[in-house]
Structure 1
């Protein structure tokens, strides 16, 4: 889908500077499409970054390595340039996650975009602990874009669209900030929002059915979700509250797979269940197995952040 320019009214732009870290893989090329989509929609400036990986004891890159990657950087930057979308590029040598976060600070990026295979054992792709470290250290939200194995083999991915945004929330400050961000993206692009809350197994009875206390908890959560949904609808955004039970990572993924979701937005410092949702096994499940991009972080900056949290009790 062709990116349409977002209408922001008097609100400041949500995204003004994008840092795109690429390793020139098929997954990075897929992520590049999302960079182009968002840059066109928000008229955001783009910095393209390639890190020549150098770890302690590792082989030092050669002049030929630098020349070849520099040429490929030129190609990426050329593809991303559009009217009103300035694009620059950088090549650095070092540890990828540290360099990415340093460049994000230097360029004052408000969004980092990374491509991921969603598998382990592949080099130069920012997987596993590297992706988690970027998310932990990044000064801004991080959009991870996974190219499904089937699409990678076929050399094509799903057409870019942002019509359905899912936001897992537990009503912590971090998850509500993520919700503010997700609602703003949805409003800018004319998308709908799903508020997704996971009731963990401890909320069930021993026989895995709702007991009296668990049912009261579910009703309280439903009331809070309705409050948030009413506030979001008042902003002109279509919204659907959803409550599911189970292990958070699995339940989030089950919903994503069953709902034709285009984007998941989540905070990384929620309470238990959604707490540190991009770490450990949850990271492997959500970031590596989600069929759609995942936008996560612990720093979401949106004009008016806190309004939803203040209105939902």
Structure 2
């Protein structure tokens, strides 16, 4: 293994916290922004399942943006009743349903006034939330491109990881419309993690490893090699171009092998894939090729303009992936 790769690996190991194979992800508080739309109520299904898995407290928040007066108490009651109906807790029966009922507590249904994304992010800080679960608005066309300004801004400015819910409709899968949490299951088996071997993306891999342990899921570590510039190819012989591409692929493979040796991946099922192409196109194609249930990706910035831009790859994955996406800041 080249000395540069070994040195980089040691630097990453020193910069990330030590992780043992029995380490677990600590999600204690889940926040679900709700606007009572069908999409947000479907996202609540994911929030409930995740809260159940991690035995976390679930908080719902509705943000009133219009200037006219309204009753916060009445809206809080409506929010609570709507969530109860969605979770099917009025149906008498199983112990599991009783457990879901206990997750939706009246005192955890909050109503705020102001700009939705700002209030949601501020409230997440106040709660010290470990995860925000929200829905996208659009599924196709321009609505899909815009994602919904509130959802996109929450992803950009949230103080904690954000789970963006999206339902994959395929054989044996139910559409997001009209399904309650008593019928809904979230048990990801294959999690795609885009990596570019930067320290930021490796922090995302660590979070993904801990998340995968909680669901006994397999990680699909994916790297896309940027395609060679066609102008450069035209000026080089075919042999030289092929040699350059092979060298880049070998270096990426060495980086991937070094990544696989990091301590936080011990005990986690992993597979790797390296493809040549534009990152967002290859990631979205890989979701279908590898039957991916969830994408976990990190942003490239923490504050200021970098965080606002989110990182072009992460931003486009959130917009175009045909499965839920968990963004790690």
TM over 0.5: yes
Given the superposition, is the C-alpha separation of residues 269 and 234 from structure 1 closer, same or farther in structure 2, using an over 3 Å criterion?
A: closer
**DSSP-derived class of the 1:175 partner:** helix
Query: Within 2, Cα distance between the matches of 1:234 and 1:213?
Result: 31
Which runs of no fewer than 5 residues in structure 1 stay unpaired? 1-7, 55-59, 299-313
After superposition, the Cα gap between the structure-2 partners of 1:283 and 1:128, relative to the gap in structure 1 and judged at 3 Å, is farther
Q: Deviations over 1:89-130 (max 9, x none)?
A: 1111111110111000000001111111344776xxx93443
Q: Which runs of 5+ in 2 are unaligned?
A: 1-19, 90-97
**Alpha-carbon deviation of 1:174?**
1.3
User: Which deviations, in whole Å up to 9, do the C-alpha atoms of 1:133-182 show, x marking residues without a partner?
Assistant: 22221111111012458965853497422111110011111111110000
Are residues 200 and 13 of structure 1, via their aligned partners in 2, closer, same or farther at CA, if it must alter by over 3 Å? closer
Change (3 A) 1:46 1:178: same
Residue aligning to 2:29:
17
- 2:178 corresponds to: 155
Match of 2:193 in 1: 167
2:79 aligned residue: 73
> How far apart, in 2, do the equivalents of 1:118 and 1:283 lie?
18
Q: Specify which of 266, 276, 297 is matched with residue 328 of structure 2.
A: 297
121 and 216 in structure 1: CA distance in 2 versus 1, 3 angstrom threshold:
closer
- Aligned residues of 2:196 and 2:223 also touching (Cα < 8 A): yes
User: TM (normalized to structure 1)?
Assistant: 0.76
State which of 105, 109, 128 in structure 1 corresponds to 2:129.
109
2:281 pairs with one of 242, 250, 255: 250
Shift of the alpha carbon at 1:21? 0.7
Of residues 287, 290, 298, the one that matches 2:318 is: 287
| Cα distance between partner residues in 2 of 1:12 and 1:39 | 15
Distance 1:104 1:112, change over 3 A: same
Of 187, 195, 203, the match for 2:221? 195
Q: CA RMSD in A?
A: 3.4
Match of 1:41 in 2: 53
Alpha-carbon shift at residue 287 of structure 1 (Å): 1.9
Structure 1 position 82 matched with structure 2 position 99 = yes
Aligned to 1:177: 203
| Contact 1:261 1:292 (8 Å CA) reproduced | yes
Which whole-Å CA distance do the structure 2 matches of 1:154 and 1:136 have between them?
27
Question: 1:185 & 1:264 partners in 2: Cα distance?
Answer: 11
Distance 1:277 1:223, change over 3 A: farther
Structure 2 counterpart SS, 1:71: helix
Give the corresponding residue for 2:165.
Answer: 145
How many Å separate the matches in 2 of 1:276 and 1:174?
A: 12
User: Displacement of 1:243 after TM fit?
Assistant: 0.6
Residue in structure 2 matching 1:136, options 150, 156, 173: 156
Q: Does the CA contact (< 8 Å) of 1:51 and 1:92 recur in 2?
A: yes
Worse-superposed segment, 153-162 or 96-105: 153-162
For normalisation by structure 2, the TM-score amounts to 0.73
Aligned with 2:233: secondary structure?
Answer: coil
